Amino acid sequence: MEQLNNTSSKEWFQKIKWNEQGLIPVIAQEIDSNDVLMMAWMNHDALLATLEKGQAVYWSRSRKKLWHKGEESGHFQNIRGVYLDCDGDTLLIKVEQVGGIACHTGTHSCFFSELNIARETSAWKKISTK
Amino acid sequence: MEQLNNTSSKEWFQKIKWNEQGLIPVIAQEIDSNDVLMMAWMNHDALLATLEKGQAVYWSRSRKKLWHKGEESGHFQNIRGVYLDCDGDTLLIKVEQVGGIACHTGTHSCFFSELNIARETSAWKKISTK
């Protein structure tokens, strides 16, 4: 935790506003296509691990532990840029998506359900995301 | 609330997983550039108002009321697509950003602070987002 304590005191780190659970939402966008791949969460340790490895490390809220994206699938996300929004409470990361697959369902992007916006008959339809 | 009650019973609406505050994070992406413009939150009413108006209506967590994006600035977001992620807890909307400005600071995107990922000297630097 030495490293975390050192980092926590730094000005850039203090600009980040963590929520009441100590988390911040992180949007992962593919660097070349600009496709939005997924949204996940990081805590302090996940962000530091991300910067340390140069690959996305999230906090898994369901498993309550650090989740090095791709550790099981091989679908790592190599970090190409890290951005903070105007009020400091959301991160955007631009990544090279190894294998082109971000979703655990095997699709390119997690946002593969599009709302058919017709009154009375609205429904989610599966689309190809690449 | 008649309309909300009707909608809440529909299958497409039940796929959405709201958090413990009844909110869902919403990523707004510009339709042509694919730029990620901002992240905000919707509750049931905000989503229904968004679909009704064809323009983004968020829930302002700070003001605790519906926020028709652009109502003061004129920078409305015309909805061109609505997408749900694989586990149903994040929305992505593709929008036509009126005026090309999404951020209340006057910038194109809210993600105008990029992390200079150099050890010891890390800092956020302001970048042009368009």
CB A123 to CB B11 under 8 A? yes
pLDDT at B82 over 80: yes
pLDDT at B118 over 80: no
List chain B residues with CB under 8 Å of A12.
115, 122-124
Amino acid letter at B57?
Answer: V
pLDDT mean over A12-32: 96
A32-61 residues touching B, CB cutoff 8 A: 33-36, 38-39, 51
- Give CA–CA dist A86/B37, Å, rounded: 11
pLDDT mean over B1-20: 80
pLDDT at B7 over 50: yes
pLDDT of A92: 98
Instruction: Select the residue of B10, B25, B111 nearest A85 (Cβ to Cβ).
Output: B111
Predicted structure pTM score: 0.93
- Give CA–CA dist A44/A58, Å, rounded: 10
pLDDT at A28 over 50: yes
pLDDT of B6: 76
The total of other beta-carbon atoms located within 10 Å of residue B5's CB is 8
pLDDT band at residue A5 using 50, 70 and 90 as cut-offs: low
Query: CA gyration radius for chain B?
Result: 16
pLDDT of B2: 46
pLDDT of A1: 45
CA angle (B33 as vertex; B31, B38 as ends), nearest 5: 70
Residue with tokens 């400005």: B101
Q: How do residues A40-62 score in pLDDT, each as one tens digit?
A: 999 999 999 999 999 999 999 99
Instruction: Tokens for A73, please give them.
Output: 């699938």
pLDDT of A7: 78
**ipTM score assigned to the predicted complex:** 0.93
Q: How do residues B41-77 score in pLDDT, each as one tens digit?
A: 999 999 999 999 999 999 999 999 999 999 999 999 9
Size of interface A-B (CB pairs under 8 A): 108
Most A CBs within 10 A among B21, B92, B128, hence the mutation to make, goes to B92
pLDDT of B120: 57
